[in-house]
Structure 1
């Protein structure tokens, strides 16, 4: 499969170009300003599709050529005439990748969504978003918002996609995100507020933040003392932020640091229930824990779960481990408790 050159210098030069930044072997930024993206995923694993879950791709933003992937259990208990109570909840899964890499079509993402649809008995929506450095923040956040506005359009359309609407309960929507996707989910929670009134008749019931990718100019203990060989080490964290932040901004940017000097006061925000999950050996652990602790002190409905000894993204990197299985049951319980 060939590489994709996103942008390049048109003029010839006698000075050989060299790699300035590289991310997981799939993104290379060169000294001449060119950006090369490989069409090969950094997680080249087999897709475990046994046919028990159906899926398809849909364009949700034609202007930016953005797609989302829909999943639903193949065996549907409800019929088009059945009540909403017998339909499936809708569960968004927004992929990670430091705002720089990743895709709904990467096999690790697809495998996790197949499992979510099967085990949660849910319609899973997995949207793409524009990536940095070609598209810097806040573009990814806006794309996440457009992905949920697409769902609202389906809910009110006179000609909806019945593949979705025949089985989906628009009154039971959950928004989850992994790493950078967890950051997007948090910012959607702030923007939409409890009950998500601007999405009516769509109603968000809760958010699942899986190792949310937050930052700040002052390093936390887990960031400063975390192992250099960690799956998400400090060098890579720093690189992701450098590539994704607007020029001149720091990691105290309001979309990056929930408690930064220019961030909104989260104490005054009325949130839907939030589940925060992190690995105990993840360099982002302290930020996730502090986020959950502060919101809980302010009376928000926050559940914090830490998996001792686990690295960043353990649930998709090793999806068949005991910890990943336990997490799936925790998510399932969260969805059930907030669907009533």
Structure 2
């Protein structure tokens, strides 16, 4: 008779992600945390899926304004917005329905842009740096598409201005966008003939061992608590890593110096009611001190990830700011 104990739960994130002692993972229904709210599609936006990594079964959802409604009636190429979903690296999907899908449609229609919503592997089944590796693999695919010219995926060949490419994301997706911008800016990732013109961080998901003011004394009514953030990092980071790991803390003791990195202009969104607010403000301030081009957009009364949690005046203002940011990029 075996003396081995049955696997037991070591992490339980609201019953949606359960990590067992043998390393296996049991997943539940994510809509318990983020109910899918039915929303109308944005008129004159079309979308379809394409495979960018067949070996891992990873896809990208391509959104674009229908050519007849785009600027120039389809004759003008549009900027490319590479977008990564949130979920603490443990939740979410590139094809998430409801507000996330609506937000991506609005980006495509209002910027206007070709929006590429990228699938990446999730933790704890695939701990970091798996998601960052997938992001780099996607950029390599995009570079290959640009090199194909007229033989590229038809919507990209018809509509994409690869010289005006941005990486963006919400929460963990913003963390991922930061790391990709650093890899490109430091020469670790070659993009030519694609050009990274800017990057956008919406409610970025950063961490650190030392508590900030907003973590020690959280604002009322936050959507992401300190306990939730800590648990997601425990499940996402390499086993045994602390939250000063470079993938969590861009200014940790082992993190690369960003001063010599050729970062493009960045737009950073900071909601007021967010336990990570101080980390986001520090990120923007430190980059400004280094002489980087930083635009900070603060949103009073809004929660972490508000852009994909509901829709209201703040969302419309965010779209306006994003549109202006993209238009001023060279």
Q: TM-score, normalised by structure 2?
A: 0.91
2:86 to 83, 92, 96: 96
Write out aligned runs for 1:186-265 (5 A): 186-193=178-185, 198-227=190-219, 230-265=222-257
Counterpart position of 2:44 = 52
Provide the rounded CA distance (Å) in 2 between the counterparts of 1:194 and 1:263.
13
Provide the rounded CA distance (Å) in 1 between the counterparts of 2:2 and 2:60.
38
| Structure 1 residue 51: Cα displacement | 4.7
Where relative contact order (Cα < 8 A, 6+ residues apart) is larger, the structure is 2
Provide the rounded CA distance (Å) in 2 between the counterparts of 1:12 and 1:57.
48
| Structure 1 residue 165: Cα displacement | 1.1
1:269 to 256, 261, 271: 261
User: Could you tell me whether the CA contact under 8 Å between 2:175 and 2:201 is conserved in 1?
Assistant: yes
Provide the rounded CA distance (Å) in 1 between the counterparts of 2:188 and 2:5.
54
User: Could you tell me whether the CA contact under 8 Å between 2:95 and 2:117 is conserved in 1?
Assistant: no
Unaligned runs of 5+ in 1: 1-10
**Does 1:295 find its partner at 2:292?**
no
Q: Deviations over 1:128-163 (max 9, x none)?
A: 111100111111111111112111111112631112
Provide the rounded CA distance (Å) in 1 between the counterparts of 2:70 and 2:36.
36
Unaligned runs of 5+ in 2: none
User: Could you tell me whether the CA contact under 8 Å between 1:78 and 1:167 is conserved in 2?
Assistant: no
Counterpart position of 1:8 = none
Q: Deviations over 1:63-111 (max 9, x none)?
A: 21111100001143679xx87xx21111111101000000011113212
**Does 1:140 find its partner at 2:131?**
yes
User: Could you tell me whether the CA contact under 8 Å between 1:175 and 1:208 is conserved in 2?
Assistant: yes
Provide the rounded CA distance (Å) in 2 between the counterparts of 1:249 and 1:195.
26
Counterpart position of 1:116 = 107
Provide the rounded CA distance (Å) in 2 between the counterparts of 1:321 and 1:88.
26
Q: How many residues align?
A: 326
1:283 to 255, 275, 280: 275
User: Could you tell me whether the CA contact under 8 Å between 2:47 and 2:64 is conserved in 1?
Assistant: yes
1:28 to 18, 21, 24: 18
| Structure 1 residue 47: Cα displacement | 4.5
Q: For residues 110 and 299 of structure 1, do their structure 2 counterparts lie closer, same or farther at Cα, with a shift above 3 Å needed?
A: same
User: Could you tell me whether the CA contact under 8 Å between 2:85 and 2:173 is conserved in 1?
Assistant: yes
Q: Secondary structure at the match of 1:36?
A: strand
Q: For residues 97 and 14 of structure 1, do their structure 2 counterparts lie closer, same or farther at Cα, with a shift above 3 Å needed?
A: same
Provide the rounded CA distance (Å) in 1 between the counterparts of 2:189 and 2:17.
38
User: Could you tell me whether the CA contact under 8 Å between 1:170 and 1:203 is conserved in 2?
Assistant: yes
Counterpart position of 1:316 = 308
Quote the RMSD (CA, aligned, Å): 2.7
Q: For residues 196 and 135 of structure 1, do their structure 2 counterparts lie closer, same or farther at Cα, with a shift above 3 Å needed?
A: closer
Provide the rounded CA distance (Å) in 2 between the counterparts of 1:162 and 1:78.
16
